[in-house]
Structures are given as C-alpha cells and as structure tokens.
Amino acid sequence: MQFLYPAFLWALTALSIPIILHLFYFRRYKKVYFSNLRFLREVKEETSARNKLRNLLILLSRILAMAFIILAFAQPIIPVNDTLKAGIRNVSVFVDNSFSMQSFGKELSLFDRARQKAKEVILGYGQEDHFQVLGHDLSPSQNQWISREEALVRLEEMEYTPNVKPLSVIAGRQKQNFAREDGNPVSWMISDFQKSIFDLTLTDTLNTINLLPLSGVQEKNVAIDSAWFESPVQTLNQTSALLFSIHNYANEDADNIRVTIDMDGQERPEGTLDIAAGQVRIDTSMITVMKTGWHTVAIRISDFPVTFDDTYYLTFNVAENLHILAINEQSENKRISAVFSDSQYFIVENSMANNIPYARLQEYDLIILNELKTIPSGLTAGLKKYVEEGGNALFIPSAQGQVEQYNPLLQAMSANAFLPWTPGPREVGKINTDAFIYKDVFSRTRPNMRLPKVTASYPSAATGSKGQSLLSFRDGGDMITFYTPGKGAFCVLSAPLDEKINDLALQPEIFVPLLYKLTIYASDFRDMAYTIGIDHLISIDRNELDPDKESLIKGPVEFIPGITALGSKLLLDVQGQVRTSGFYNLMQEDKLIASLAFNYDRKESDLSLTDLGALPESKSIKVWADPDESDFTHLIEADRQGRQLWRWCIILGLFFIAMEITLIRLWRT
C-alpha cells in the first residue's frame, strides 16, 4: 500500500487524545448513597465490569473513526503493478471532429459527447503533465504540447472539419510528436471508429493506444452522392437532363425524402422519393438554360441528423458563342456553313490551308480539316496539342490526297491509318445510337431508314478499330470513327463530302448532329464540381486568366489562390483554403472568371462502424468499454495511480462514528 499524501499520517498522533481523555475521565470518583449496604459489593462488581467493556468499545470506535478519516486524507492506494512509470506524461488526445460525429447519442451529438469524454480524460492526469488535442485537421498548432488548462480551452474551440484522415495517419502523427518531447507517452483516440477511417494495425505504435468508442442511437443516413448532366455541354435555350444519385446507407427504408433544386437562386421542389435500405436511386430533373454565362445548381434533400451530405453543388458555363474554324484546301464547304447559318450561337470562320492561325487554335471549339491534300507537320503538332487539351477536330480527307500525308496525323491522334484510295460503292448499315454524337437524336430507327453511301473511300488499315464507330459500312468498315486521344475528340471520315462521292451532307438528320454535337463535345466533367480535401488544383484556361494580375476567390471565405502555369492551362492551388461547401467565384479586376462548386467528401456518409470487439488481444491497443456510463477521470486516476482506498476509509470512518453513537445511546450505565 502507498499513500498519495503521506504527510497527513502525522495526524495519527492525534489518536492519543481520546486515549488520554478516557484514562483521566474514568479516574474521577462519584459519591453514591445506598439505604442498605448488604448487596453493595455484588452490585459494584457487576456494574464495574459492564461499564469497563462499554467504555473500551466506545474508545475503540472513536480511535478507529479518527484513524480512517485521517487515512482518507492521506489517500491510500494499492498499485496495479510494480511497473507504473513515474514522471511527466505526454498525453495526446485525438477527438474525431468529422461530419459523421453529427449523429446523436442518448442526449448529445457524438461530437459534443466526444469533447465531454476528452475533458474527463484530460482531468484524469496531473497539472504537471503535458497535453495536446488533435483533430482531423492536424494543423501545426495542434502539434504543440500545452498545459492542462490550455488543452481544455482548445477542446472547447474545436469545430467540425471536412478533412478526414485515416486513423493510421493520426497514430503516426502522435508517434512523431512523442519522439520530440521527453516524457511518458499516453495516446487516446475518441471516435465513432467508422470502417472508412479505421485502419490501425498492431505495428502503428510502440505504445498503447487507448480507444474510446462512441456510437449513435441510430446509424442511418441518406446522402446525395453526385450529380451530372446527361449532355457534357449545356447550350442556350436547350433543355438538358440533370441526373443525381441518392444513397440510403441505413438498414431500413427511407420514405418521403424531399428533393429541391436551386438554380441561380431560384428554388423549386422536385417531389419526394422512397429509397430502399442500402440502395442507390438515380433521379432526373430537366433544366432549361435561358441565358449565357455561369450558372449555379444546388440539389438538396431533407435528412436528419447527419446533414453535411444533403446538398450537392455544381456549376456550369454556357458560352455566348461557339467558334468553329474550317481549314479549306480551296474554298469553303457550303454544306458545312449552312448547318450553322441559322444560329447566332455558332460562329464559323473559314481559312485557307496556306493561312492557318496557329496561335489561335485553342480559341476554337471545333476545327474542321476540309479535304486538305497535304497536312503540314506544324498543323499536325498544333492539332495534337489542341485535342489533348480539350479541343475537337473533324478530319475530312480529299479524293486527291495521299495516305503518306494523312497517316502521320492519324498516328499522332492514335487513330487507325488509311489504306490507299479505293474506288467502289459502300453503304452504311448501322448507326451507333449509344455514342454521344447520335444519342437521343432518333426517337427510333426504322428498318428502311435511308443511310449514307459512298462510291469510293479510304479503307482502314486495322481490322479492329481503336476508336468508336459512329457510322459503319455493311462490309464491317467505318465511315465515321470517333477517337479521344486527349481531353478532346478527333473524328475521322473515310470519304470526302463531295456529293458525287459521298451523300452524307444530303442527309441532315445524320450530318447536322455530327457537326453540332461534335462542336459541343467535352470529356472533362470534373469542372462542374470539386471535392474539398481532394481536389486541390483547379484548371483554368490561360486565355481566361492573366497570371500576372492578382486573382481572388470569393465565397464563404475569401482568399488569394496560388497560380502555376502548365502549358495552355493555369492551375489554381486552393489547398487548405476551402473548408465550407458551396459556390466560390474566381474574380480578377472585379470580373467573374469562373464559378466553382465545392462539396464535402462523401467518404463519411457511410456510418458503418468498426467492430472493436473483433480486434485481436494486444498490448498496443486498449479498448475502453461502457463510455457513456463511466467517469473517465476516476478510471484514469485509478489506472494511473492504482486502486484508490480513500472512499473505503470514509465509509469505515462513518461506520465507527455510527457505532460510537449507538453504544452511547443504547447501552446505558
């Protein structure tokens, strides 16, 4: 047995006081008058023996009562083992402040409950110990070792964060912090221990990690996982299908989930949905764009208590005009110009082969190589870079062309090479209505539908196409092949548009969608939405932003992003600046450059918890049970100091006081 405050044991000398009082008090004599002395001797002997026993019991009760009260002040303990470490402790407490901690326990949210338990843990250690309070942010200030009072203040200042780290990263940071500070390391983790973040192994630490698990009353959540447009590019006065995915992560059905869509600040209800347990439902809303410029869309559902994933933000831009460059051998193709002549939305610019605007290729949405007989090497290099960075090109060969001129371009675009010009009739037998170019163009295809045919063509050198066939001949070759060598598209016709050779231009239901949808094609969907903590670099076209001028991102917070040049793109670095989901505007000289949408990571949406009872027995990991019912201040003190006996001392002290009172009142002299 040991004593936390052995100085109080000097008070045991006070036990001599009741003994001295007892001895001197019973030496006093008292006169007793008797009318008859015959039985005096017998009565005197009997009364003296009983009084002596009574007084000794009272004296013993008083001595024991005082002794146990003094021992209670000295706080006796029984050490748990002989290897308890002495000295200053470095106590690192991790509090899970991810969005999954919005779930409710019996009375409070799990986050508030976690902070309450962390406070109990901190108070369980001494004033002289060092502390740190970690969250998922792992900011530099959290690595500092501070006093107990500062740790309690920092605990109250903690907030939710979207930056979620695996627990192995947390354990690694604790290990690093222990290594740079002298003292006995003590590690705590207070969390709901979701399966998505729990990856601890027995080799993560050389010291014991204390795990304190918390769980909600009900582990259920419904979230919007993602949203996207069916068409990759939105155009003016066109109705597009907006699709969104809603996931029910619970083990029970979710009924009457209300959905609303907010477009450019105008909110409209979309009705309610029923989603079966554990299922994903994809729904559609029709969006009509009535003006050009940047547009914002927020899809919201009603779900409680976990709400961080109930809104999905996205933005898109409708350009004022789409620009097409037709590079012609001799003169422009009247059929191509006629396709875009009725719309002010499309601007067609024609150029001769000897006057190609190489410096402005990136400004065009579609470049058409119209029956060029030769392909300059500079044009091949320029088109390769143009398509890789998101541009679209249509290659229409000439009947007088040479495959030696065409194949270097095709090879640069990862397309199938041409065989020499071959006369002979060929007729299209199939339209690929699953491809983007012809998807949703035809309500149905008739068996007797008129399809294009050619009198001569350039056969493909490969038996198997590297690209996607849009129109295929009955003999198995391709009339139009669609390639995606980069972020853009490269479309190849196997025959010129000369009406004597190819009647494709005479069939507008096939020819018009080819030009129209190839102009608006885009493969990069990530620009519509970004994920906080994952997407740190935002790509912006160099011709839209001047890197030499100051840029500002405005939203829930304002900050100046870092800018790095990368080819024709500029990369905006927003790491650590965006912490709240919503819309952010990229501004330069008070001009809107781009509207950006940031969403929280959906990794936390699945509230499935780790079964800590299935963990292997190990000295490296200790799981504390019954966190809701336990006072961790007392548990830690007992575990840190040993088994405390002061409560028993007080109980025994009160017991002997009660015994003394009982003897005095009930045992009369």
Euclidean distance between CA atoms 513 and 391, whole angstroms: 18
For the stretch 164-175, pLDDT in tens is: 999 999 999 999
Question: Do 89-217+608-641 and 322-520 have matching folds?
Answer: yes
Strand partners, 519: none
Query: Does the 89-217+608-641 domain belong in CATH 3.30.300.20?
Result: no
Q: What's the angle, vertex CA 151, arms to CA 150 and CA 157, rounded to 5?
A: 90
649 vs 246, which has greater pLDDT?
Answer: 246
8 Å CB contact between 130 and 91: yes
Give me the pLDDT at residue 656, please.
87
Which residues are within 8 A (CB) of 481 and not within 5 positions of it... i.e. 6 or more apart? 415, 416, 460, 465, 467, 468, 469, 470, 491, 492, 494
Q: How many CB atoms lie within 10 A of CB 219?
A: 18
- The interaxial angle of helices 148-156 and 110-123, nearest 10 deg, is 180
Consecutive H or E run containing 426: strand 422-431
3-state SS, 329-346, equals CCCCCHHHHHHHCCCCCE
8 Å CB contact between 551 and 560: yes
| Whether the predicted pLDDT of 405 surpasses 50 | yes
Rg of the chain taking only CA atoms, in angstroms: 42
77 vs 324, which has greater pLDDT?
Answer: 324
Mean pLDDT across the chain, nearest whole number? Answer: 86
Query: Does the 322-520 domain belong in CATH 3.30.465.10?
Result: no
Lowest mean pLDDT among 321-325, 432-436, 485-489, 539-543: 539-543
Q: What is the pTM of this model?
A: 0.70
For the stretch 490-524, pLDDT in tens is: 999 999 999 999 999 999 999 999 998 898 887 55
Phi and psi for 174 in degrees, rounded to 5?
A: -60, -40
Q: What percent of the chain has pLDDT over 70?
A: 90
Q: Are strands 530-531 and 591-599 parallel, antiparallel or unpaired?
A: parallel
For the stretch 538-558, pLDDT in tens is: 988 887 888 889 999 999 999
Range with the largest mean pLDDT of 32-36, 373-377, 635-639, 644-648: 373-377
| Whether the predicted pLDDT of 574 surpasses 60 | yes
Asked if omega into 459 is within 30° of 0 (cis), the reply is no
Question: Quick one: average pLDDT of 601-620?
Answer: 81
How far is CA 130 from each of CA 150, 158, 180, rounded to the nearest angstrom? 10, 19, 13
Question: Quick one: average pLDDT of 618-624?
Answer: 81
Euclidean distance between CA atoms 536 and 540, whole angstroms: 13
Q: What is the CATH number of domain 222-300?
A: 2.60.40.10
Of 383, 370, 339, 357, nearest to 517 by C-alpha is: 339
Delimit the domains of the chain by residue range. Answer: 2-81+645-666, 89-217+608-641, 222-300, 322-520, 529-599
What's the token pair of residue 513?
């969608």
